[in-house]
Amino acid sequence: MSMHELEATIAQIAVPGKGILAADESTGTIGKRFANIQLESTAETRRAYRELLFTTPGIEEFVSGVILYEETLGQRASNTKLFSELLAELGIVPGIKVDKGITHLPNSRDEKITQGLDNLTERLATYKEMGARFAKWRAVLNVSANTPSCLSVRANAQALARYAAICQDQGIVPIVEPELLMDGNHSLERCAEATEKTLYTVFHELHKHGVILEGIILKPSMVIAGTEYTPKSSIEAVAQATVKILRRTVPAAVPTINFLSGGQSSEVATAHLNAMNATKPHPWLLSFSYGRALQDICLRTWQGKPENMKAAQQAFYKRAKLNSAACKGQYTQTMEG
Protein backbone atom coordinates (compact mmCIF):
# COMPACT_ATOMS: atom_id res chain seq x y z
CA MET A 1 0.00 0.00 0.00
CA SER A 2 1.29 3.46 -0.86
CA MET A 3 0.53 5.70 2.10
CA HIS A 4 2.09 8.55 0.17
CA GLU A 5 -0.48 8.15 -2.58
CA LEU A 6 -3.40 8.14 -0.10
CA GLU A 7 -1.97 11.18 1.70
CA ALA A 8 -1.56 13.11 -1.55
CA THR A 9 -5.21 12.46 -2.49
CA ILE A 10 -6.46 13.41 0.97
CA ALA A 11 -4.38 16.61 0.90
CA GLN A 12 -6.00 17.62 -2.37
CA ILE A 13 -9.57 16.88 -1.19
CA ALA A 14 -9.46 17.96 2.47
CA VAL A 15 -9.02 21.67 1.88
CA PRO A 16 -10.70 24.14 4.25
CA GLY A 17 -13.65 25.78 2.50
CA LYS A 18 -13.97 23.08 -0.15
CA GLY A 19 -16.14 19.97 -0.38
CA ILE A 20 -17.23 17.13 -2.62
CA LEU A 21 -19.95 17.08 -5.28
CA ALA A 22 -21.77 13.74 -5.33
CA ALA A 23 -22.71 13.33 -9.01
CA ASP A 24 -22.70 9.53 -8.89
CA GLU A 25 -26.42 8.87 -9.27
CA SER A 26 -26.97 5.45 -10.80
CA THR A 27 -28.82 5.28 -14.11
CA GLY A 28 -32.03 4.50 -12.21
CA THR A 29 -31.66 7.40 -9.77
CA ILE A 30 -30.74 10.04 -12.35
CA GLY A 31 -33.72 8.79 -14.37
CA LYS A 32 -36.00 9.71 -11.45
CA ARG A 33 -34.36 13.15 -11.12
CA PHE A 34 -34.77 13.78 -14.86
CA ALA A 35 -38.40 12.59 -14.74
CA ASN A 36 -39.07 15.43 -12.27
CA ILE A 37 -38.15 17.90 -15.02
CA GLN A 38 -39.83 15.86 -17.79
CA LEU A 39 -36.47 15.02 -19.37
CA GLU A 40 -35.77 11.65 -20.93
CA SER A 41 -32.75 9.88 -19.45
CA THR A 42 -30.38 8.74 -22.19
CA ALA A 43 -26.61 8.30 -22.19
CA GLU A 44 -26.42 11.66 -24.00
CA THR A 45 -28.73 13.64 -21.67
CA ARG A 46 -26.85 12.22 -18.68
CA ARG A 47 -23.54 13.18 -20.30
CA ALA A 48 -24.76 16.68 -21.15
CA TYR A 49 -25.97 17.26 -17.59
CA ARG A 50 -22.69 16.10 -16.04
CA GLU A 51 -20.82 18.35 -18.49
CA LEU A 52 -22.95 21.28 -17.36
CA LEU A 53 -21.95 20.60 -13.74
CA PHE A 54 -18.24 20.03 -14.34
CA THR A 55 -17.74 23.00 -16.69
CA THR A 56 -19.42 25.49 -14.36
CA PRO A 57 -16.96 28.41 -14.38
CA GLY A 58 -15.12 28.78 -11.07
CA ILE A 59 -16.54 25.64 -9.45
CA GLU A 60 -13.01 24.55 -8.45
CA GLU A 61 -13.01 27.40 -5.90
CA PHE A 62 -15.44 25.39 -3.75
CA VAL A 63 -15.32 21.79 -4.97
CA SER A 64 -12.18 19.68 -4.47
CA GLY A 65 -13.62 16.29 -5.43
CA VAL A 66 -16.42 14.85 -7.59
CA ILE A 67 -17.90 11.37 -7.20
CA LEU A 68 -18.76 9.91 -10.60
CA TYR A 69 -20.88 6.98 -11.68
CA GLU A 70 -19.14 4.29 -13.75
CA GLU A 71 -20.84 5.41 -16.98
CA THR A 72 -19.69 9.01 -16.46
CA LEU A 73 -16.08 7.99 -15.77
CA GLY A 74 -15.96 6.65 -19.34
CA GLN A 75 -17.67 9.68 -20.92
CA ARG A 76 -16.14 12.74 -22.56
CA ALA A 77 -16.87 16.47 -22.57
CA SER A 78 -17.76 18.19 -25.85
CA ASN A 79 -14.07 19.13 -26.25
CA THR A 80 -13.39 15.33 -26.32
CA LYS A 81 -11.57 15.28 -22.97
CA LEU A 82 -12.50 12.50 -20.58
CA PHE A 83 -14.44 13.98 -17.65
CA SER A 84 -11.79 12.63 -15.29
CA GLU A 85 -9.11 14.58 -17.23
CA LEU A 86 -11.20 17.73 -17.36
CA LEU A 87 -11.70 17.62 -13.58
CA ALA A 88 -8.06 16.80 -12.84
CA GLU A 89 -6.95 19.79 -14.93
CA LEU A 90 -9.13 22.00 -12.72
CA GLY A 91 -7.44 20.55 -9.63
CA ILE A 92 -10.60 18.58 -8.74
CA VAL A 93 -10.05 14.95 -7.77
CA PRO A 94 -12.23 12.45 -9.69
CA GLY A 95 -13.81 9.69 -7.60
CA ILE A 96 -16.05 6.71 -8.35
CA LYS A 97 -19.02 5.02 -6.72
CA VAL A 98 -18.06 1.35 -6.47
CA ASP A 99 -20.87 -0.29 -4.53
CA LYS A 100 -23.52 -2.22 -6.47
CA GLY A 101 -26.47 -0.95 -4.49
CA ILE A 102 -28.46 -2.52 -1.69
CA THR A 103 -30.27 -5.82 -1.31
CA HIS A 104 -32.34 -7.57 1.36
CA LEU A 105 -30.38 -8.72 4.44
CA PRO A 106 -31.82 -12.14 5.38
CA ASN A 107 -32.89 -12.64 9.02
CA SER A 108 -32.77 -8.91 9.73
CA ARG A 109 -35.76 -6.67 10.51
CA ASP A 110 -36.46 -6.15 6.82
CA GLU A 111 -33.16 -4.30 6.49
CA LYS A 112 -30.60 -3.89 3.71
CA ILE A 113 -27.00 -4.79 3.00
CA THR A 114 -24.76 -3.17 0.38
CA GLN A 115 -23.21 -5.42 -2.25
CA GLY A 116 -20.24 -5.04 -4.59
CA LEU A 117 -17.19 -6.66 -2.97
CA ASP A 118 -16.80 -9.29 -5.71
CA ASN A 119 -13.97 -8.38 -8.12
CA LEU A 120 -13.54 -5.04 -6.36
CA THR A 121 -9.74 -5.20 -6.59
CA GLU A 122 -9.85 -5.64 -10.37
CA ARG A 123 -12.55 -2.99 -10.80
CA LEU A 124 -10.54 -0.49 -8.76
CA ALA A 125 -7.46 -1.10 -10.89
CA THR A 126 -9.51 -0.31 -14.01
CA TYR A 127 -11.11 2.79 -12.46
CA LYS A 128 -7.67 4.01 -11.39
CA GLU A 129 -6.39 3.69 -14.95
CA MET A 130 -9.37 5.81 -16.00
CA GLY A 131 -8.38 8.54 -13.52
CA ALA A 132 -10.29 7.80 -10.29
CA ARG A 133 -8.35 8.55 -7.09
CA PHE A 134 -11.02 7.92 -4.48
CA ALA A 135 -14.09 5.72 -4.13
CA LYS A 136 -17.48 5.65 -2.43
CA TRP A 137 -19.47 2.85 -0.79
CA ARG A 138 -22.84 3.64 0.80
CA ALA A 139 -24.34 1.55 3.58
CA VAL A 140 -28.03 2.21 4.27
CA LEU A 141 -29.60 1.82 7.71
CA ASN A 142 -33.21 2.32 8.74
CA VAL A 143 -34.03 4.10 11.97
CA SER A 144 -37.08 3.13 14.07
CA ALA A 145 -37.75 1.93 17.62
CA ASN A 146 -36.11 -1.45 16.85
CA THR A 147 -33.78 -0.66 13.94
CA PRO A 148 -31.04 -0.60 12.96
CA SER A 149 -30.65 -4.11 14.36
CA CYS A 150 -27.30 -5.31 15.68
CA LEU A 151 -27.14 -7.65 12.67
CA SER A 152 -27.56 -4.91 10.10
CA VAL A 153 -25.13 -2.56 11.85
CA ARG A 154 -22.50 -5.28 12.13
CA ALA A 155 -22.95 -6.66 8.60
CA ASN A 156 -22.86 -3.21 7.01
CA ALA A 157 -19.86 -2.11 9.09
CA GLN A 158 -17.96 -5.25 8.07
CA ALA A 159 -18.70 -4.65 4.38
CA LEU A 160 -17.61 -1.00 4.68
CA ALA A 161 -14.36 -2.08 6.36
CA ARG A 162 -13.65 -4.79 3.75
CA TYR A 163 -14.25 -2.25 0.98
CA ALA A 164 -12.09 0.42 2.66
CA ALA A 165 -9.19 -2.01 3.17
CA ILE A 166 -9.35 -3.12 -0.49
CA CYS A 167 -9.39 0.53 -1.66
CA GLN A 168 -6.37 1.50 0.42
CA ASP A 169 -4.53 -1.58 -0.82
CA GLN A 170 -5.04 -0.24 -4.35
CA GLY A 171 -3.94 3.30 -3.44
CA ILE A 172 -7.52 4.61 -3.60
CA VAL A 173 -8.95 6.74 -0.77
CA PRO A 174 -12.24 5.22 0.45
CA ILE A 175 -15.24 7.36 1.34
CA VAL A 176 -16.85 5.41 4.17
CA GLU A 177 -20.56 6.23 4.04
CA PRO A 178 -22.91 4.84 6.67
CA GLU A 179 -26.25 6.57 5.99
CA LEU A 180 -29.02 6.44 8.56
CA LEU A 181 -32.14 7.27 6.59
CA MET A 182 -34.36 10.24 7.50
CA ASP A 183 -37.50 8.24 6.58
CA GLY A 184 -39.82 7.60 9.52
CA ASN A 185 -41.14 9.20 12.69
CA HIS A 186 -38.15 8.73 15.00
CA SER A 187 -36.96 11.53 17.26
CA LEU A 188 -33.60 13.28 17.11
CA GLU A 189 -32.62 11.44 20.31
CA ARG A 190 -33.40 8.06 18.71
CA CYS A 191 -31.31 9.03 15.66
CA ALA A 192 -28.47 10.04 17.99
CA GLU A 193 -28.53 6.62 19.71
CA ALA A 194 -28.61 4.76 16.40
CA THR A 195 -25.85 6.92 14.89
CA GLU A 196 -23.61 6.41 17.93
CA LYS A 197 -24.04 2.63 17.77
CA THR A 198 -23.41 2.60 14.02
CA LEU A 199 -20.31 4.81 14.00
CA TYR A 200 -18.86 3.00 17.00
CA THR A 201 -19.24 -0.32 15.16
CA VAL A 202 -17.93 1.07 11.86
CA PHE A 203 -14.71 2.30 13.50
CA HIS A 204 -14.32 -0.95 15.40
CA GLU A 205 -14.50 -2.88 12.10
CA LEU A 206 -12.18 -0.42 10.31
CA HIS A 207 -9.65 -1.07 13.05
CA LYS A 208 -10.06 -4.86 12.81
CA HIS A 209 -9.50 -4.68 9.05
CA GLY A 210 -6.35 -2.57 9.43
CA VAL A 211 -7.77 0.47 7.66
CA ILE A 212 -5.56 3.55 8.08
CA LEU A 213 -7.82 6.25 9.45
CA GLU A 214 -5.62 9.06 8.12
CA GLY A 215 -6.44 7.75 4.65
CA ILE A 216 -10.25 7.72 4.70
CA ILE A 217 -13.04 10.24 4.29
CA LEU A 218 -16.08 9.71 6.53
CA LYS A 219 -19.42 10.54 4.92
CA PRO A 220 -22.11 10.29 7.59
CA SER A 221 -25.68 11.44 7.81
CA MET A 222 -26.45 14.17 10.33
CA VAL A 223 -28.20 13.44 13.62
CA ILE A 224 -31.69 14.53 12.70
CA ALA A 225 -35.28 13.52 13.48
CA GLY A 226 -37.29 11.49 10.96
CA THR A 227 -39.19 13.40 8.27
CA GLU A 228 -42.54 12.44 9.88
CA TYR A 229 -41.53 13.54 13.38
CA THR A 230 -42.91 16.77 14.85
CA PRO A 231 -42.04 19.29 16.12
CA LYS A 232 -39.07 20.06 13.87
CA SER A 233 -35.69 20.44 15.59
CA SER A 234 -33.87 23.75 15.41
CA ILE A 235 -30.77 24.10 13.23
CA GLU A 236 -28.66 24.42 16.40
CA ALA A 237 -30.14 21.25 17.96
CA VAL A 238 -29.19 19.17 14.90
CA ALA A 239 -25.72 20.70 14.77
CA GLN A 240 -25.07 20.14 18.48
CA ALA A 241 -26.35 16.56 18.48
CA THR A 242 -24.33 15.69 15.37
CA VAL A 243 -21.07 17.12 16.70
CA LYS A 244 -21.66 15.44 20.08
CA ILE A 245 -22.04 11.97 18.52
CA LEU A 246 -19.12 12.49 16.13
CA ARG A 247 -16.86 13.53 19.03
CA ARG A 248 -17.78 10.33 20.86
CA THR A 249 -17.18 7.99 17.98
CA VAL A 250 -14.84 9.39 15.27
CA PRO A 251 -11.11 9.31 16.09
CA ALA A 252 -9.18 12.54 15.58
CA ALA A 253 -6.98 10.72 13.05
CA VAL A 254 -9.80 10.99 10.47
CA PRO A 255 -8.87 14.06 8.40
CA THR A 256 -12.25 15.11 7.11
CA ILE A 257 -15.95 14.41 7.58
CA ASN A 258 -18.04 15.23 4.50
CA PHE A 259 -21.77 14.96 5.16
CA LEU A 260 -24.43 13.65 2.79
CA SER A 261 -27.60 15.74 2.54
CA GLY A 262 -30.01 12.78 2.65
CA GLY A 263 -33.16 14.61 1.52
CA GLN A 264 -32.74 17.82 3.53
CA SER A 265 -33.63 20.94 1.57
CA SER A 266 -30.62 22.73 0.11
CA GLU A 267 -30.90 25.69 2.49
CA VAL A 268 -31.33 23.54 5.60
CA ALA A 269 -28.35 21.32 4.66
CA THR A 270 -26.20 24.44 4.30
CA ALA A 271 -27.47 25.91 7.57
CA HIS A 272 -26.74 22.69 9.48
CA LEU A 273 -23.18 22.51 8.15
CA ASN A 274 -22.65 26.16 9.02
CA ALA A 275 -23.94 25.75 12.58
CA MET A 276 -21.52 22.86 13.15
CA ASN A 277 -18.60 24.89 11.86
CA ALA A 278 -19.63 27.88 13.97
CA THR A 279 -18.70 25.87 17.09
CA LYS A 280 -15.07 25.14 16.14
CA PRO A 281 -12.48 23.90 16.91
CA HIS A 282 -13.08 20.29 15.91
CA PRO A 283 -10.45 17.60 15.44
CA TRP A 284 -11.51 17.02 11.82
CA LEU A 285 -12.64 19.23 8.93
CA LEU A 286 -16.43 19.32 8.63
CA SER A 287 -17.50 19.71 5.01
CA PHE A 288 -20.03 18.51 2.45
CA SER A 289 -20.39 15.68 -0.03
CA TYR A 290 -23.87 16.65 -1.13
CA GLY A 291 -25.82 15.29 -4.06
CA ARG A 292 -29.35 16.67 -4.00
CA ALA A 293 -28.54 19.70 -1.82
CA LEU A 294 -26.07 20.92 -4.45
CA GLN A 295 -27.94 19.87 -7.57
CA ASP A 296 -31.67 20.40 -6.97
CA ILE A 297 -31.81 24.07 -7.93
CA CYS A 298 -29.43 23.51 -10.83
CA LEU A 299 -31.61 20.75 -12.32
CA ARG A 300 -34.80 22.75 -11.84
CA THR A 301 -33.23 25.77 -13.51
CA TRP A 302 -31.83 23.75 -16.41
CA GLN A 303 -34.97 21.75 -17.34
CA GLY A 304 -32.86 20.00 -20.00
CA LYS A 305 -32.85 23.14 -22.20
CA PRO A 306 -29.59 24.50 -23.71
CA GLU A 307 -30.84 28.09 -23.30
CA ASN A 308 -31.02 27.56 -19.50
CA MET A 309 -27.52 26.16 -19.18
CA LYS A 310 -25.83 29.36 -18.05
CA ALA A 311 -28.49 30.12 -15.42
CA ALA A 312 -28.29 26.51 -14.17
CA GLN A 313 -24.51 26.78 -13.82
CA GLN A 314 -24.91 30.04 -11.93
CA ALA A 315 -27.39 28.37 -9.56
CA PHE A 316 -24.99 25.47 -8.97
CA TYR A 317 -22.07 27.87 -8.45
CA LYS A 318 -24.06 29.80 -5.87
CA ARG A 319 -25.02 26.67 -3.87
CA ALA A 320 -21.41 25.49 -3.88
CA LYS A 321 -20.27 28.94 -2.75
CA LEU A 322 -22.80 29.04 0.11
CA ASN A 323 -21.72 25.58 1.27
CA SER A 324 -18.10 26.73 1.14
CA ALA A 325 -19.07 29.62 3.42
CA ALA A 326 -20.79 27.08 5.70
CA CYS A 327 -17.52 25.14 5.94
CA LYS A 328 -16.06 28.26 7.53
CA GLY A 329 -19.09 29.06 9.71
CA GLN A 330 -19.59 32.21 7.62
CA TYR A 331 -22.96 31.45 5.99
CA THR A 332 -26.00 33.56 6.78
CA GLN A 333 -29.60 33.27 5.58
CA THR A 334 -29.32 36.72 3.93
CA MET A 335 -26.69 35.30 1.51
CA GLU A 336 -29.51 33.27 -0.09
CA GLY A 337 -30.64 36.58 -1.67
Binding site for ligand 13P (CB under 6 A): 22, 138, 177, 260-262, 290-293
Beta carbon nearer to ligand 13P, 249 or 261? 261
For 237, residues 6+ apart whose C-beta sits below 8 A from its C-beta are: 188
Cβ atoms of 147 and 116 closer than 8 Å: no
Nearer Cβ to ligand 13P (19/255)? 19
| Least distance between ligand 13P and beta carbon 290 (Å) | 4
Give 201's strand partners: none
DSSP labels, 163-195: HHHHHHHTT-EEEEEEEEP--SS--HHHHHHHH
Which residue's C-beta sits nearest to ligand 13P? 291
- Is residue 316 a contact partner of residue 53, using CB atoms and an 8 Å limit? yes
- Least separation in angstroms between residue 134's CB and ligand 13P is 13
Dihedral angle over CA of 261, 263, 267, 273, nearest 10: -30
Active site residue 44: no
Report the nearest approach of ligand 13P to the CB of residue 141 (Å): 13
DSSP state of 58: T
Contact 38, 295 (CB under 8 A): no
Q: Is 177 a catalytic residue?
A: yes
Pick 243 or 293: Cβ nearer ligand 13P: 293
- State the catalytic residue, choosing from 25, 51, 177, 205: 177
Q: Rounded to a whole number, what is the distance in angstroms from the first to the last CA of the chain?
A: 48
- Report, in Å, the least distance between residue 4 CB and ligand 13P: 27
Instruction: Tell me if 163 sits within 8 A of 177, measured CB to CB.
Output: no
Q: Which of 18, 136, 197, 219 is catalytic?
A: 219
For 309, other C-beta atoms within 10 Å of its C-beta total 18
Residue number with CB closer to ligand 13P (23 or 250): 23
Q: In whole angstroms, how far apart are CA 87 and each of 47, 67, 71, 73, 90?
A: 14, 11, 16, 11, 5
Q: In the complex, what is the shortest distance from the CB of residue 259 to ligand 13P, in angstroms, rounded to a whole number? A: 8
Between 129 and 246, whose beta carbon lies closer to ligand 13P? 246
- Catalytic center residues: 177, 219
